[in-house]
Amino acid sequence: MIIRPITDRDLETLFQIATESGPGFTSLTPDRDVLSRKIAHSMDSFERLVIKPGDEHYLFVLEDEATGEIMGTTGIEANAGHTRPLYHFRRNTVTRHSRHLDLRRSVETLTRCSHYTGYSEICSLYLRPEFRRPHAGKLLSRVRFLFMALHPERFSDNVIAEMRGVSDASGQSPFWNWLKAHFVDMDFDRATHLVGTGYTDFIDELMPSHPLYTCLMSQEARAVLGQVHNLTRPALRILETEGFEHKGLIDLFDAGPT
């Protein structure tokens, strides 16, 4: 197995990976034009002389040296939020207290925020099912940290990872289904596809800007707050062993942890 920067000859395989990964994997959307631009951007990023992180995006592939097949992808965004807003929901607890009535109630809220703007983000980790063998996933994950250690001037001192939240094979997200019913009348796969193509204006235009009380959400939506997709659990365990911690921020669309 070898890790190398992606090249334009990998476009068709990258499209297959984007298709296989399914809805919710916004860093790789199954659109050849978008993926072609992503590859070109990555190739340009590797070639740049960088003294501080900008809009660079580095995409790597894992290749089976014996067959030349692409086994998976992994990537790093140097400066998240540099070219478009980076939004999350922040989980907070609000406590109300009446001393006169001796009543107290604590409720959880979700508030849209952009706390992680400017952080570097590790992303695009996907290992194709037929190549899920011992240590391949760890190699895909950890090569990013090695690259950042070799080129610290290209990255922030702070690093985040957005973990894919809960959705099913048909593209249904319990959290998004609740948001769709009350705020954004758009299917989950369309919303995540738009984000994957770089269009995020609808977030400011349609998504709630005031705090949401989770006690008013459906039980199904509350149950997936901060939870990861089953296919994402191995990646989460690897990051936790590297010292990553969840600080209460979740994804706007599937409520996966950041």
Q: Which residues are catalytic?
A: 229
**Contact yes or no for 18/25 (Cβ under 8 A):** yes
**Contact yes or no for 57/78 (Cβ under 8 A):** yes
- Report which residue type is found at 247: K
Q: Return the closest-CA partner of residue 91 out of 197, 250, 198.
A: 250
Q: Return the closest-CA partner of residue 214 out of 115, 90, 98, 96.
A: 90
**Placement of tokens 């740049």 in the chain:** 48
**Contact yes or no for 214/110 (Cβ under 8 A):** yes
DSSP-assigned letter for residue 257: B
| Residue 215: CA count within 13 A, CB half-sphere | 7
Using DSSP's 3-state secondary structure scheme, residue 6 falls into: coil
**Rounded distance, CA 252 to CA 202, Å?**
12
The bridge status of strand 120-127 relative to strand 159-161 is parallel
Beta strands across the sheet bearing 57-63 = 2-5, 57-63, 70-77, 120-127, 159-161
**Contact yes or no for 248/110 (Cβ under 8 A):** no
**Contact yes or no for 10/39 (Cβ under 8 A):** yes
